[in-house]
């Protein structure tokens, strides 16, 4: 067939003036010298090879700079090999990186990715080739018209075969064997067409400008396929429906590109790569082709999925695949010319990738595949345009309701789908599957959260008060609706007596952004209260309380909070139950990835949830005893249940025991850890909180500086290295803080006075900080990891009088952010709750390690009392409450307990629980003091 194909092309381009010349000779470009230095580099990188991103030559970087937008960590917008970079980029700002497993290629010579004037001498782009081809086309018009008609005829033949096969397949009028034979025939035609296209470009490089014009042509012959636009019921969305008819008609709405995507399901892997390589080359040279390619893909991609079922250990994995050329959309959709074309040509259909992503997640089966490429590609296409201020502004102006409602629907879909419900299976049967599911969704979770960040931050950067006043109510209305939907969903689970645990919480965790966008003040109880009064209208107190009950229930359904299924503790303890060392090692690696998702600053799940739940606790006016989902209520109930088990002589479930400690640890994280504030508003503190830009000093500026300095000191003193440089400090700090520029800003204020701001100089702390350790800034770490760090610090500074506990050195309420102080006081200036804690502390027959969480809270309460002399921090009413709490702590049983608490620890516990021993001593010392007075 290949021979006939060539003969037909020869016939189509036959020239009677030179009948003996074959087609390859007629197409061959003769002036090779004229082609030197044209085109692009396209060099790939081996693992470990160096590449560069020039920050001054990337149009996207320039746009980010012009709109004051900070690029997300890890984003790369221009890739250059070393040879191309060193030739023309002297004195430019750049980032030098080492290649990993990425598929980067050098982009020198591509005008959409970099400034033309800095193309290297060997890669001058395609502009000259365009002029060359236009001249040649005029001189050989018949030849090129013949080439064009040849390809149009063969594309028509190809699409007719595809339509016929699709019709028979949909009507089940073809046997599997015949389907395979006809699919092979189709792929043979595809291979012939695209190989011939590439052969022509190789023979005649300037013709690379000609091929895109063919692919944008309409078919002039009748065909069975058409694309119909329909309105979705109860929606403003348009939906494009592919229809394959029995009869044929001429279709002037579709071009060759459209047909390719609409019938892509029959393409095999070999041709998928061939088509991708061809399109990638064409995208470099033709702006119109780039625009129409992206338009066609977004309109038609749902028909381009190819079925390739894969079974992995009885689980279905990656049931369908998008075309390889999908990645081109991810690369190009960020450019303004393409985005503007898509908005104008598609309208609200531009959100089709989000629509499909929602449908895809709803239908998706759980799988142990580590990466779902359909999900990965769609999320990158759907969310790339949210990163850029001008593009976001266009979307918010033209489609505000559609954009925000779809984002919330996606959040709700993830809340339901990225979840776990208990089964009768053994843990080894469901835990790995759940962890794999979470890891598949983690990039999508990250992108959804970043969408909320980009919308709120973008509104501030756009700086259009009228637009903000239009969008904020839409955001809040959708927030309320989604909360109500999630509550109804959870109520249904409760009615069916089905426990539920989710790994997705973005539907409420963006609440801090809404508060900051509305109020523009550092958070406090008053600021948060004003936000809800201004933006949330409740019919009465009961409806308001129902709403906050819903927020509690949703938050408590998250995997690190829920006690119905303590999946978090179960996953942490799971490796202990495995016998096979290989299985244990495998799951240990999975567990680390799982914890990274929950607690690393890359995903910021911990930070947003911490701040969100702090807001909920502060604004909820209901007594904790009346709300069984309140964290204080849950803690007491779980603890009393454990005490009853012990009294009855029952063994305590280690998962439940760990769970109780985890709940109490959540208290400390919320009232003491400063990192959630810095990570939630990373790179935008001054944008959200104008008080931080004031010329005069104020409390907000002092608190930011104080907390960051403490954080830096703690990270330096946690290291055993004798010498540290600025790059070492930034590396250590980057494990916990998303924005390291703020570390650079404050690091020199805590260094010895002779330190210059030279990054090659060793960092030496001032003497007053050399033994300080402010543990509260590290509370995102795993509990036992913190204990090990504290022990290591204590061993190094054995003569120090510093308190090396989980709160750390110099703990005082005045160093907390206002919302943390207010939450601290709300939780622990509660006589009823403190009274309960004291009673729990004095229960007989409880081992010290079993009441560890109570001891921690007694210690916190004493720290609060010791701040009472800071009169500006407490009202008269609060001072009165402190006095009443002091009286509660004066009970003889409590003093008696702590007088011998440490002696009840065995030798192993004394080695492991260093901080508990320290706290027992501090509590006992204080109780002695107040017993005398």
pLDDT tens digits, 694-749: 989 899 999 999 999 999 999 999 988 778 889 899 999 999 999 999 999 999 89
Prediction pTM value: 0.91
* Total count of residues recorded for the chain: 933
Pair 926, 868: CB distance under 8 Å: no
Residue 6, token pair as written in the block: 């060539």
What is the predicted pLDDT for the residue at 107?
93
Instruction: Give how far the C-alpha of residue 18 lies from the chain's centroid of Cα atoms, to the nearest Å.
Output: 62
Count the Cβ atoms, other than its own, within 10 Å of residue 499. Answer: 16
| pLDDT higher than 50, residue 42 | yes
Is the distance from CB of 559 to CB of 503 less than 8 angstroms? yes
Predicted confidence at residue 310, as pLDDT, reads 36
Tell me what percent of the chain is helix, strand and coil, each rounded to the nearest 5: 65, 5, 30
Tokens 């320039």 sit on residue? 62
446: helix, strand or coil: helix
Task: Tell whether the model's pLDDT for residue 410 goes beyond 70.
Answer: yes
Q: Is 614 helix (H, G, I), strand (E, B) or coil?
A: helix
Distance between CA atoms of 129 and 35, rounded to whole angstroms?
8
Can you give the pLDDT at residue 851? 85
Q: Are 838 and 889 in contact (CB under 8 A)?
A: yes
Q: How many CB atoms lie within 10 A of CB 891?
A: 17
Q: CA–CA separation, 849 vs 190, rounded Å?
A: 70
Using alpha carbons, list the distances in angstroms from residue 118 to 57, 81, 113, 115: 7, 14, 11, 6
Q: What is the DSSP letter of 20?
A: T
Virtual torsion, Cα 176, 179, 183, 184, nearest 10 deg: 70
Task: Give 756's pLDDT tier (boundaries 50, 70, 90).
Answer: low
Retrieve residue 671's tokens: 């009232």
pLDDT in tens, 840-858: 888 877 788 788 888 999 9
Domains, the chain, with CATH or none: 2-15+130-282 (no CATH), 50-125 (2.10.110), 388-676 (no CATH), 829-932 (no CATH)
Q: What is the DSSP string of 549-568?
A: HHHHHHHHTBTTT-SSS-HH
Confidence of residue 32 (pLDDT cuts 50, 70, 90): confident
How high is the pLDDT of residue 507? 96
pLDDT digits (tens, 9 = 90+) for 493-547: 989 888 888 889 999 999 999 999 999 999 999 999 999 999 998 989 899 999 9
Contact 522, 691 (CB under 8 A): yes
Output the average pLDDT for the chain: 88
Question: 365: how many CB neighbours lie within 10 A of its CB?
Answer: 9
* Enclosing H/E stretch for 224: strand 223-231
C-alpha closest to that of 783 among 738, 849, 711, 717: 849
């Amino acid at each position: 067939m290949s021979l006939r194909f060539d003969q037909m092309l020869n016939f189509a381009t036959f020239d009677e003036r030179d009948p003996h010349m074959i087609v390859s000779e007629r197409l061959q470009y003769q002036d090779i010298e004229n082609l030197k230095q044209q085109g692009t580099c396209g060099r790939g990188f081996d693992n470990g090879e160096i590449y560069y991103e020039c920050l001054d030559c990337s149009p996207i970087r320039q746009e980010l700079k012009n709109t004051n937008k900070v690029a997300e960590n890890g984003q790369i917008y221009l890739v250059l090999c070393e040879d191309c970079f060193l030739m023309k980029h002297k004195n430019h700002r750049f980032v030098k990186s080492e290649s990993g497993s990425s598929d980067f290629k050098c982009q020198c010579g591509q005008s959409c990715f970099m400034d033309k004037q800095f193309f290297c001498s060997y890669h001058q782009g395609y502009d000259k080739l365009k002029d060359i081809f236009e001249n040649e086309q005029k001189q050989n018009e018949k030849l090129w018209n013949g080439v064009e008609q040849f390809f149009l005829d063969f594309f028509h033949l190809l699409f007719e075969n595809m339509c016929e096969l699709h019709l028979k397949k949909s009507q089940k009028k073809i046997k599997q064997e015949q389907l395979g034979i006809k699919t092979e025939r189709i792929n043979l035609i595809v291979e012939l067409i695209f190989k011939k296209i590439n052969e022509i470009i190789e023979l005649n490089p300037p013709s690379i400008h000609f091929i895109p014009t063919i692919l944008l042509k309409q078919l002039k012959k009748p065909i069975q396929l058409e694309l119909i636009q329909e309105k979705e019921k109860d929606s403003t969305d348009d939906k494009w429906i592919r229809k394959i008819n029995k009869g044929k008609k001429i279709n002037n709405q579709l071009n060759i590109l459209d047909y390719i995507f609409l019938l892509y399901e029959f393409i095999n892997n070999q041709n998928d790569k061939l088509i991708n390589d061809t399109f990638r080359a064409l995208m470099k040279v033709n702006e119109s082709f780039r625009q129409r390619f992206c338009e066609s893909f977004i309109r038609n991609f749902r028909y381009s999925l190819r079925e390739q079922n894969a079974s992995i250990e009885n689980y279905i994995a990656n049931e369908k695949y998008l075309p390889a050329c999908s990645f081109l959309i991810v690369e190009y959709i960020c450019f303004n010319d393409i985005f503007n074309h898509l908005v104008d040509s598609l309208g609200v259909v531009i959100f089709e990738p989000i629509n499909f992503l929602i449908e895809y997640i709803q239908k998706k089966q759980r799988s142990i595949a580590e990466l779902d490429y359909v999900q990965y590609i769609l999320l990158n296409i759907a969310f790339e345009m949210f990163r850029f201020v001008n593009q976001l502004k266009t979307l918010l102006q033209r489609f505000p309701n559609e954009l925000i409602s779809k984002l919330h629907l996606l959040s709700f879909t993830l809340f339901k789908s990225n979840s776990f419900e208990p089964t009768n299976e053994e843990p080894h049967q469901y835990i790995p599957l759940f962890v794999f599911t979470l890891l598949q969704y983690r990039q999508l979770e990250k992108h959804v959260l970043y969408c909320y960040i980009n919308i709120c931050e973008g509104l501030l950067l756009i700086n259009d008060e009228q637009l903000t006043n239009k969008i904020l109510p839409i955001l809040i209305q959708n927030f309320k609706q989604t909360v109500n939907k999630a509550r109804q969903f959870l109520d249904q689970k409760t009615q069916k007596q089905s426990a539920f645990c989710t790994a997705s919480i973005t539907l409420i965790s963006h609440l801090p952004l809404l508060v900051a966008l509305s109020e523009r003040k550092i958070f406090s109880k008053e600021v948060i209260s004003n936000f809800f009064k201004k933006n949330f209208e409740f019919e009465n107190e009961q409806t308001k309380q129902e709403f906050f009950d819903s927020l509690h229930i949703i938050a408590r359904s998250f995997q690190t909070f829920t006690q119905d299924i303590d999946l978090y503790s179960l996953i942490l303890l799971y490796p202990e139950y495995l016998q096979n060392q290989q299985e244990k090692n495998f799951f240990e690696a999975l567990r680390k990835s799982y914890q990274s998702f929950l607690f690393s600053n890359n995903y910021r799940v911990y930070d947003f949830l911490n701040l969100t739940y702090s807001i909920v606790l502060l604004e909820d006016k209901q007594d904790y005893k009346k709300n069984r989902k309140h964290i204080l209520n849950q803690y007491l109930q779980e603890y009393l249940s454990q005490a009853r088990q012990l009294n009855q002589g029952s063994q305590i479930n280690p998962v439940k025991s760990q769970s109780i400690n985890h709940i109490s640890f959540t208290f400390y994280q919320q009232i003491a850890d400063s990192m959630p504030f810095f990570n939630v508003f990373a790179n935008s503190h001054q944008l959200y909180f104008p008080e931080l830009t004031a010329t005069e000093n104020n409390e907000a500026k002092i608190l930011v500086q104080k907390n960051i300095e403490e954080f830096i000191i703690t990270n330096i003193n946690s290291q055993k290295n004798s010498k540290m440089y600025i790059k070492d400090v930034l590396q250590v700090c980057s494990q916990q803080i998303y924005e390291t520029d703020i570390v650079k800003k404050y690091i020199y204020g805590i260094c010895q006075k002779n330190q210059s701001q030279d990054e090659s100089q060793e960092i030496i702390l001032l003497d007053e900080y050399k033994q300080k350790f402010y543990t509260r800034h590290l509370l995102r770490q795993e509990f036992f990891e913190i204990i090990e760090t504290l022990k290591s610090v204590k061993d190094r500074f054995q003569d120090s009088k510093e308190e090396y506990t989980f709160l750390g050195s110099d703990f005082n309420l005045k160093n907390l952010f206002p919302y943390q102080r207010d939450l601290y006081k709300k939780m622990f200036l509660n006589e009823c709750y403190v009274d309960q804690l004291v009673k729990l502390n004095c229960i007989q027959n409880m081992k010290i390690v079993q009441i560890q969480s109570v001891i921690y809270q007694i210690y916190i309460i004493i720290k609060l009392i010791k701040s009472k002399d800071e009169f500006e921090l407490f009202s008269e009413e609060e001072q009165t409450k402190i006095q009443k709490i002091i009286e509660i702590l004066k009970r003889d049983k409590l003093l008696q307990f702590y007088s011998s608490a440490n002696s009840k620890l065995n030798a192993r516990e004394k080695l492991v629980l260093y901080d508990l021993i320290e706290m027992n001593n501090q509590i006992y010392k204080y109780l002695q003091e107040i017993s005398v007075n």
